[in-house]
Structure 1
């Protein structure tokens, strides 16, 4: 379960999210946070799976 305070903090939409609109910012925030938590949990449960994290500048090089 995601902490209500985290949801409220994330429910303040980013500019690109505001431009796209949202019928339910809190539900959107909960989904984003759940996805983030799931990805973090998966990374820890599969340390042999290497996920490369690069910036756009690094990828262009």
Structure 2
């Protein structure tokens, strides 16, 4: 992770990230980017269901 990337992300915190507050926007940006990179480069596998595990037609929410 580059310093430029962290600095840019710190400068561009979303309104809800600003509202959460942080004594260290650089550290907050670094944590956000680390989480993002982890999800991008090591995504969790999609949930797989077998036909027997599917919801019955009467069980579906509307």
Shared fold per TM-score greater than 0.5: yes
The 5 A counterparts of 1:1-61 are 2-12=1-11, 13-43=13-43, 49-50=45-46
Q: SS where residue 11 of structure 1 aligns? A: helix
Per-residue Cα deviation, 1:1-60 (whole angstroms, up to 9, x for no partner):
x111110111022211222211100001001101111111112xx7xx227xxxxxxxxx
Distance 1:41 1:20 in 2: 27
Structure 1's consecutive aligned runs of 4 or more residues displaced over 6 angstroms after TM superposition are none
User: What is the TM-score with the length of structure 2 in the denominator?
Assistant: 0.62
Query: Which structure 1 residue ranges, 5 or more long, are not aligned?
Result: 52-60
RMSD (Å) for aligned C-alpha atoms:
2.0
Number of equivalences: 47
